[in-house]
Structure 1
């Protein structure tokens, strides 16, 4: 555009010279030369802004017990492979994020038609899990909150152990390798001497390895807390319910994962004695179905072998389930039971759902579901009847129901388990005093303080230290809504400006505010382009 202005200027000068020479009214035919217009001083121009995002998925990874954020790595998967349809808020394609800090935001490509994505989450000290994340927002909704809860390896109801081993140059151990936990959440792996450990490509894994085995008490909510999502398909009359689980991970010091064995190994897990098979309590010698989940693909597979119910442990009131396998993954021993085909709904009475919305969880040994209730909602359908089947909710499922905000302030807690295949009544009580604030965001040019622009397409997130971040609603004209802040508390604010200056993308900004109900603002200094011309 600027080059065109300069060309037009030159053309105007040339035309003036030509015309003044041909049509001068000077009788002496003197040529009158019109001097060119002096260029003005350089003009500083604010950068162009992108459109505001139509949808932001505001995700938090939290400790299931405390709801505090957990630094974790995530991978996005579709149909067992890395997703090609997920982008960050700047539009860059991403299939993984290393070190989220516990909170991150993403969206999908403009032309993407996917309605869900599998998110595989791993974090030090926690049992990894895959989540099926819905990407469909309600009408008018621009922010889609997602809470991904991980279970600590030290949490109640789970067990975990790591056993080191030395593997020879041929990929085998000269001695038997045994990794075993105990109690109601017992799980174990036994690798016979001489068995060759191989990676996913079939290459021997050598040197120092660690054998990590985790289990969960299947009579408690711990089992569904660590169970990767997607075990069941939607619409079936019966579901497969996990009654024993074992997560077995073997990796070398260099990070190579053991995925295959030259000969079968034995895996064991505890099964509650209260488990029934075809309406009859299980007993030694019974067989149960076996499913496996590949953490690298996020896909569940029905194993061709079955698990055998072994000896009874009177101290823990459990049986030992065992099976043989030639590969490693997350294993679930399952039983078939009638599925919940009703919508799972929570009706709200009492205090109104605040403008930033509330989180709802239903957790037990036979149900694990969560949802987000937007501000002003009178009810929330956590799962449709078809999705209840997909999420493995049984017709007789009971669960503890909690309703809480993003800082884990509890609005309702059933404490004990209540039937959840249908409608639950939740009387809300506002636990703290909240305030709302608007946050104005502008950018001012460093080379001309008189030139500024409201940042209308930024992604602004705010949180209490250590807790989930909320994404502020974009009100337009550079204003953003901070809703339901605990009055008097200090919040961390992070801003992705989503604007480029002469140096490229403007870096993310951070600040803090104290919730008091007054409007807040932030100005970001940027380097702007300069243009010259008449």
Structure 2
């Protein structure tokens, strides 16, 4: 038995090699990896989407003062103390200091948290007289609403009571060779500007301009026409306390040399402005002069004065002054202040739920506000100085809706104290609502809550209103006119509309009280892995 050990060992070794196949895998015993199971995902709205309405939002219309038409393409620049404002944000929290008005004619903004005080909005549009408006960030919303409606109303440059003129010359350098004269005159509006030969033209920094094509523009206003007060920039009486400045005459003078604004002169130039016979001045009177800088939106009291000359044959008076710079000028007299405030009281007719815009215009200024209740103090007694309201102030008072329909209008109505109005409306309106049907672009079965969106609506290119949120992505549309065409714009807060941007616009034609208004908004959603599943 022991003599066969070698044979047995050899057989064992041979068996091992036979089984191993010399490291080959002829028996096809491959290792199969576990299958890869893709993660389960779902489409969900972004976490950043806002579902609650803001406590306060400013809703701004830039409109034609004569008919409430939206001025698409108008430029609005916000400033504080002459510098770009840093206290405002758009509905999605992005800092806002400049806006180009889109085809809705409306835009909205919010003050930053803890922002207080005032900002100045400088508004320009081709063919219209530019103007600055003062916005009070501390304004309070009415009960049951969250918006502060603002109308930035501009006057067409060819309106009644306005006259304009332009003179163009070519200069080889900054010094005039011959006098440059521009006379704006039409009806009772007249302003004469004379730049003598040998005058050096300078920019805002006091540096001599390079010459080239020089253009002198002059705007005159007939201060006996109530509507001309609409062109006076807000803030003339910003620093008034016990008395207010009453503007008797205004003129706006601008000049360019090529692309450079001419702002200063050496020596001073002469300006003459015609004051209406009703201004109450006499020959030899000395008037204070204030100037408004269109680049900074700020007023200042000038050191120089205007002297009233002999009466013209039509009873008007020339008032002249010398200035070494160009801008918007107002010649003023001081008058007693109104201490009662300005309160609008509806004593007849029915105020629509949507509310009405309030316009008060006089030759020496204008007030813009709104009412949603039958009694509202639009200017407090403590604020009348800032708005330039005198104790015997009268104005053209007009209440109108966002479609431009006039509900009340009265010339020469006293406005210090209670301003009683009786509403008369011939347009039948109804209230409705619009529901935003939010869907995710990648899965239209997922419905984001769009209740926090900012929704505005406007009829046929007129001024827009903010639609108050009702919850469940539904927004009220008050004061619609049967058969009208309405543009509804929804700005989605915290999410982007499919294809980019934050807003989507819907047009509803021939709207009737029985219509159900809905608009589908497809937004960019997120794909996320589902966790916690087996």
Q: Same fold (TM over 0.5)?
A: yes
User: Are residue 525 (structure 1) and residue 522 (structure 2) matched?
Assistant: yes
> Residues 286 and 307 of structure 2 are in contact (CA less than 8 Å); yes or no, is this contact kept in structure 1?
yes
**Deviation for aligned residue 1:241:** 0.8
Change (3 A) 1:412 1:274: closer
Map of 1:444 onto structure 2: 439
Moved more, 50-59 or 354-363: 50-59
Query: Which residue of 426, 429, 433 maps to 1:431?
Result: 426
Change (3 A) 1:146 1:285: same
CA distance in 2 between counterparts of 1:211 and 1:383 reads 38
**Deviation for aligned residue 1:203:** 2.8
Map of 1:157 onto structure 2: 161
Instruction: Structure 2: give runs of 5+ residues left out of the alignment.
Output: 1-33
> Residues 218 and 254 of structure 2 are in contact (CA less than 8 Å); yes or no, is this contact kept in structure 1?
yes
**Deviation for aligned residue 1:295:** 1.1
**Deviation for aligned residue 1:509:** 1.4
User: Are residue 475 (structure 1) and residue 470 (structure 2) matched?
Assistant: yes
Query: Which residue of 322, 327, 330 maps to 2:328?
Result: 330
User: Are residue 46 (structure 1) and residue 45 (structure 2) matched?
Assistant: yes
TM-score by length of 1: 0.87
> Residues 394 and 414 of structure 2 are in contact (CA less than 8 Å); yes or no, is this contact kept in structure 1?
yes
> Residues 237 and 244 of structure 2 are in contact (CA less than 8 Å); yes or no, is this contact kept in structure 1?
yes
Change (3 A) 1:420 1:438: same
**Deviation for aligned residue 1:164:** 1.3
User: Are residue 345 (structure 1) and residue 346 (structure 2) matched?
Assistant: no
Moved more, 361-370 or 75-84: 361-370
CA distance in 2 between counterparts of 1:522 and 1:341 reads 49
Map of 2:70 onto structure 1: 69
- Give 3-state SS (helix, strand or coil) of 1:300's partner: strand
Instruction: Structure 1: give runs of 5+ residues left out of the alignment.
Output: 1-34, 277-281
Moved more, 65-74 or 468-477: 65-74
**Deviation for aligned residue 1:229:** 1.1
User: Are residue 104 (structure 1) and residue 106 (structure 2) matched?
Assistant: yes
CA distance in 1 between counterparts of 2:101 and 2:254 reads 21
**Deviation for aligned residue 1:186:** 0.5
> Residues 366 and 397 of structure 1 are in contact (CA less than 8 Å); yes or no, is this contact kept in structure 2?
no
> Residues 246 and 268 of structure 1 are in contact (CA less than 8 Å); yes or no, is this contact kept in structure 2?
no
Output aligned runs, 1:280-359, within 5 Å.
282-315=281-314, 317-359=315-357
Change (3 A) 1:107 1:449: closer
Aligned pairs, number: 491
Output aligned runs, 1:33-432, within 5 Å.
38-39=37-38, 41-48=40-47, 49-50=49-50, 51-71=52-72, 72-101=74-103, 103-135=105-137, 136-138=139-141, 139-169=143-173, 171-182=174-185, 183-205=187-209, 206-233=211-238, 236-254=241-259, 256-276=260-280, 282-315=281-314, 317-366=315-364, 368-374=366-372, 377-414=373-410, 416-432=411-427
User: Are residue 453 (structure 1) and residue 448 (structure 2) matched?
Assistant: yes
Change (3 A) 1:235 1:161: closer
Change (3 A) 1:108 1:451: closer
**Deviation for aligned residue 1:267:** 1.2
- Give 3-state SS (helix, strand or coil) of 2:505's partner: strand
Q: Which has the larger radius of gyration?
A: 2
> Residues 163 and 211 of structure 1 are in contact (CA less than 8 Å); yes or no, is this contact kept in structure 2?
yes
Change (3 A) 1:448 1:233: closer
CA distance in 1 between counterparts of 2:473 and 2:450 reads 5
Map of 1:13 onto structure 2: none
CA distance in 1 between counterparts of 2:477 and 2:319 reads 51
**Deviation for aligned residue 1:371:** 1.4
- Give 3-state SS (helix, strand or coil) of 1:386's partner: coil
Change (3 A) 1:45 1:413: same
Runs of 4+ off more than 6 Å: none
Map of 2:8 onto structure 1: none
Residue by residue, what CA displacement relative to the aligned partner does 1:202-256 show, whole Å, maximum 9, x if unpaired?
23322112211111111221342111111114662321111111100112342x2
> Residues 353 and 479 of structure 2 are in contact (CA less than 8 Å); yes or no, is this contact kept in structure 1?
yes
Change (3 A) 1:242 1:455: same
> Residues 290 and 299 of structure 2 are in contact (CA less than 8 Å); yes or no, is this contact kept in structure 1?
yes
**Deviation for aligned residue 1:102:** 7.1
> Residues 86 and 106 of structure 1 are in contact (CA less than 8 Å); yes or no, is this contact kept in structure 2?
no
**Deviation for aligned residue 1:310:** 1.8
Moved more, 300-309 or 228-237: 228-237
- Give 3-state SS (helix, strand or coil) of 1:353's partner: coil
- Give 3-state SS (helix, strand or coil) of 2:249's partner: strand
- Give 3-state SS (helix, strand or coil) of 1:311's partner: coil
**Deviation for aligned residue 1:349:** 2.6
**Deviation for aligned residue 1:475:** 1.5
Map of 1:31 onto structure 2: none
